A and B are shown apart, each in its own frame.
Chain A
Amino acid sequence: GDSVTQMEGPVTLSEEAFLTINCTYTATGYPSLFWYVQYPGEGLQLLLKATKADDKGSNKGFEATYRKETTSFHLEKGSVQVSDSAVYFCALSGNTNAGKSTFGDGTTLTVKP
């Protein structure tokens, strides 16, 4: 079945540091890939998505490129802020139940001033 593996956390960075959170996936066919962010005490918010190979999703300074050859969708940001502290989830939506997604375990990011 489909699966998503995320870099284990927690990740602690200083403000303005470069961020990478690794995500790899296993799926049949051509899934869409997502990054969601969850701030403390809240639900998840869609951060970015990519629907086909070589697509780059971007939002709020975050980027991720759909790499079919390495089955990866790593999240990057050039300069993190304290407000980026949250849990980040990588997910894929495959070809089965409409909208049903497979989520990674989440990576907790803490950014210190």
Chain B
Amino acid sequence: GAVVSQHPSRVICKSGTSVKIECRSLDFQATTMFWYRQFPKKSLMLMATSNEGSKATYEQGVEKDKFLINHASLTLSTLTVTSAHPEDSSFYICSAVGEADGETQYFGPGTRLLVL
């Protein structure tokens, strides 16, 4: 149980285009989803907290107009990187917290984004 998927696993795009990453909780309803960014050999950087049906809460320094987050249902959150630039290239990871536990984060496998 507690499986979280992400799609796509890898994406290469041209500078200036937008990329959407999906995060799904497959076998539980996620009250909250989190989006992280991870640089090589670095820890996780929390970007935003997403609750179903409400606006995402962004961490300080994260541009909300650049990283659009939509949490349309209790099993799906999306992160759209708008007008992507090479410096947005990174490993993006989502996690989800279920109603039953309320504190354990279950992570997706991550999405590798490369902006050319």
User: Does B67 lie at the interface of the complex (its beta carbon under 8 Å from any beta carbon of A)?
Assistant: no
Question: Smallest distance from the beta carbon of B52 to chain A beta carbons, Å?
Answer: 12
Binds B, one of A18-26, A61-69, A73-81, A94-102: A94-102
Q: Scan residues 96-116 of chain B and give those whose CB is less than 8 A from a CB of chain A.
A: 97, 102-110, 112
> Residue on B with the closest CB to A94?
B103
Given contacts A46-B107, A99-B31, A99-B105, 5 further A-B contacts (CB under 8 A): A34-B104, A41-B112, A46-B104, A49-B104, A101-B105
Contact B31 A98 (CB under 8 A): yes
Contact B106 A100 (CB under 8 A): no
User: Does A45 lie at the interface of the complex (its beta carbon under 8 Å from any beta carbon of B)?
Assistant: yes
Please tell me the size bucket of the interface on A. Answer: 20 to 34
User: Does B34 lie at the interface of the complex (its beta carbon under 8 Å from any beta carbon of A)?
Assistant: yes
User: Does A105 lie at the interface of the complex (its beta carbon under 8 Å from any beta carbon of B)?
Assistant: yes
Give Cα A44–Cα B104 distance, bound, in whole angstroms. Answer: 12
Contact A43 B103 (CB under 8 A): no
Q: Scan residues 93-113 of chain A and give those whose CB is less than 8 A from a CB of chain B.
A: 93, 97-101, 103-106, 108
User: Does B54 lie at the interface of the complex (its beta carbon under 8 Å from any beta carbon of A)?
Assistant: no
User: How many residues on B have C-beta within 8 angstroms of the other chain's C-beta atoms?
Assistant: 25
User: Does B93 lie at the interface of the complex (its beta carbon under 8 Å from any beta carbon of A)?
Assistant: yes
* Residues of A that sit less than 8 Å from B by CB: 32, 34, 36, 41-46, 49, 89, 91, 93, 97-101, 103-106, 108
User: Does B43 lie at the interface of the complex (its beta carbon under 8 Å from any beta carbon of A)?
Assistant: yes
Question: Which single member of B6, B43, B57, B107 contacts A45 (CB below 8 Å)?
Answer: B107
With known contacts A43-B6, A103-B43, A104-B43, A98–B32 Cβ distance under 8 A = yes
> Residue on B with the closest CB to A10?
B41
Contact B103 A98 (CB under 8 A): yes
Contact A42 B103 (CB under 8 A): no
Give Cα A25–Cα B108 distance, bound, in whole angstroms. Answer: 25
Question: Smallest distance from the beta carbon of A108 to chain B beta carbons, Å?
Answer: 8
Contact B44 A99 (CB under 8 A): no
Contact B43 A89 (CB under 8 A): yes
With known contacts A98-B32, A99-B97, A100-B49, A105–B43 Cβ distance under 8 A = yes
